[in-house]
Amino acid sequence: MQVKKLMLIALGGSLILATSCKKKGCTDINATNYSQKAKKDDGSCEFTVSEEETYSIPTSYVYKDENGNSTVSFSGQKERLDMLSEMVAYMKTANTAGTAVNAQTLKDMYSNTGYTWTDLNSLGMTGSSKQLKSKTASGDVGVQTTFENYMDALGTLSATTTSGQENGASGTGGVWPNDGVKGPYLMSGEGQEYTQLIEKGLMGAVFTNQMTMNYLANISTDDNTAAVDAANGKYYTTMEHHWDEAYGYFTSEIDFPTNGTDRFWGEYANSREGVLGSATKIAAAFRKGRAAISNEDYTTRDAQVAIINVEMEKVGAASAIHYLKVAKANIANATTRNHVISEAVAFLEGLKYGYRASNGGMSSTDINNVLVTIGTDFNNVTLNSLQIAIDNIASKTNLTSYVPNL
């Protein structure tokens, strides 16, 4: 399809980021004249758009060819989301004192080696070639080993607990009791909760990494001229299929947010929705980008890639900030404080493996500096160290004005 282009001046509708800074300019990241220094929109945004809209954008993730055949497929991503769900459920059993989790079982789940899944959604996970390990940080062996070390630590620690004895405390690993706000949780003597480090860490190292650094980063080089294998029911092009697989790492539900807000990125984007609006932006960008691909509108496709990349980074960074704020509010409640710091640290680590926004973003060095500020013994954090960490994350990801509401 030949798409003519023209420049339109946006008279309204741009996202206005209200901050104390008065510098004006274009604040819409999709505009060709976007300014990262501008904090107040002045109506000058310019966009490259189609001369006339010739295709519709569905309200749910449903796409069909001219013969009515579905062109959507992301079954592998559904399997991996369910694999992590089962892993998390298994790991959380160790929050009950006297319940041991087997580290080798966790590793078998991680690599899908000889493990029999409950497979609640009947996806055929047992014996499937799909796994989480091979997709971790694009196959980085060092990162994979880090997660397996967490699994070893969780297994070893859980084996030391005794039924009915929630005696975890500073310097003593075990099941830390409910402190009146949260708990009980299995944590090390330093307050590190391995279940959180694994779950949130894999959300970044697998789901975000595959979404942004694999599929969306390479989408422009995919073939979009013919169905992969229509004779065998694969009515989608390679480009359509890879876009679908990126979507599948965000949510397994085609009607998000009606469904799909109960786990992983769908849950956390939805949790930050009232402040950032990221859940709406990401879901809409995936639907619009998919429609654009099917209609060979690559300018619109690329604009949606930019939105998804930036918003995914915002959700991860904002979630880390949120949990560090909760830690500040519960500085004297040891179980709650260390539980949420574990979540924050895992979200921060996960940022290393996804797209980093060109208008900011945190480098691995930036992330490591924040982690040093927090420290490895969460019992030693202070209100000041937590605030420094929050401020550093926010300044690097353009979230400073949002911090009060996160």
Boundary-marking domain end, from 282, 301, 319: 319
Identify the pLDDT of residue 358.
46
**CA separation for the pair 240, 70 (Å, rounded):** 11
**Structural tokens at position 281:** 């932006």
| Average pLDDT of every residue of the chain | 91
Q: Are residues 102 and 192 in the same domain?
A: yes
Identify the pLDDT of residue 52.
40
Q: Are residues 265 and 117 in the same domain?
A: yes
Q: Are residues 19 and 105 in the same domain?
A: no
Contact criterion met (CB below 8 Å) for 341 and 327:
yes
- Give the CA radius of gyration of the chain: 22
User: E-strand spans in 86-194?
Assistant: 174-176, 185-187
Contacts with 199 (C-beta within 8 Å, 6 or more apart), sequence order = 84, 87, 88, 91, 346
The predicted-structure confidence for 8-50, as pLDDT tens digits, reads as follows 223 333 333 333 444 667 766 666 676 766 666 666 666 554 4
Would 334 be classed as within a structural domain?
A: no
**Structural tokens at position 280:** 């709406």
pLDDT at 98 over 90: yes
The predicted-structure confidence for 273-292, as pLDDT tens digits, reads as follows 999 999 999 999 999 999 99
Contact criterion met (CB below 8 Å) for 91 and 154:
yes
Structural domains of the chain, count: 2
Domain hosting residue 221, numbered range = 58-319
Would 399 be classed as within a structural domain?
A: no
Backbone angles phi, psi at 13, to 5 degrees: 90, -5
pLDDT at 313 over 90: yes
pLDDT at 6 over 90: no
Q: Are residues 101 and 242 in the same domain?
A: yes
**CA separation for the pair 210, 139 (Å, rounded):** 10
Q: Are residues 154 and 18 in the same domain?
A: no
Identify the pLDDT of residue 26.
73
pLDDT at 104 over 70: yes
Identify the pLDDT of residue 8.
28
Residue 129 neighbours by CB distance under 10 Å: 8
Identify the pLDDT of residue 54.
81
Residue 124 neighbours by CB distance under 10 Å: 12
Q: Are residues 37 and 75 in the same domain?
A: no
The predicted-structure confidence for 315-328, as pLDDT tens digits, reads as follows 999 999 999 999 99
- For residue 140, the 8-state DSSP code is -
Boundary-marking domain end, from 287, 319, 351: 319
**Structural tokens at position 176:** 């830390």
Mean pLDDT of 145-152: 98
Q: Are residues 32 and 86 in the same domain?
A: no
Predicted model pTM: 0.87
Q: Are residues 8 and 138 in the same domain?
A: no
Give which of 309, 324, 312 is closest to 381, Cα–Cα. 324
Mean pLDDT of 183-187: 98
**CA separation for the pair 282, 278 (Å, rounded):** 6
Identify the pLDDT of residue 85.
98
Q: What sign has the CA pseudo-torsion 236, 238, 239, 243? A: positive
pLDDT at 139 over 70: yes
Mean pLDDT of 197-202: 98
The predicted-structure confidence for 382-400, as pLDDT tens digits, reads as follows 999 999 999 999 999 999 9
Q: Are residues 75 and 47 in the same domain?
A: no
pLDDT at 214 over 80: yes
Q: If you search the block for the tokens 């084996």, which residue do you land on?
A: 159
The predicted-structure confidence for 69-87, as pLDDT tens digits, reads as follows 999 999 999 999 999 999 9
Percent of the chain with pLDDT over 90: 84
Q: Are residues 31 and 67 in the same domain?
A: no
Boundary-marking domain end, from 21, 38, 54: 54
pLDDT at 63 over 50: yes
**CA separation for the pair 325, 316 (Å, rounded):** 14
Percent of the chain with pLDDT over 70: 87
**CA separation for the pair 35, 358 (Å, rounded):** 11
Q: What sign has the CA pseudo-torsion 230, 232, 238, 243? A: positive
Q: Which residues, listed in sequence order, are joined to residue 234 by a DSSP beta bridge?
A: 229
End-to-end Cα separation, the chain, in angstroms: 44
Local confidence band at 1 (pLDDT 50, 70, 90 cut-offs) = very low
pLDDT at 221 over 80: yes
Contacts with 291 (C-beta within 8 Å, 6 or more apart), sequence order = 55, 56, 57, 58, 63
pLDDT at 2 over 60: no
Range with lowest mean pLDDT among 32-46, 50-64, 201-215, 367-381: 32-46
Q: Are residues 124 and 183 in the same domain?
A: yes
Q: Are residues 30 and 97 in the same domain?
A: no
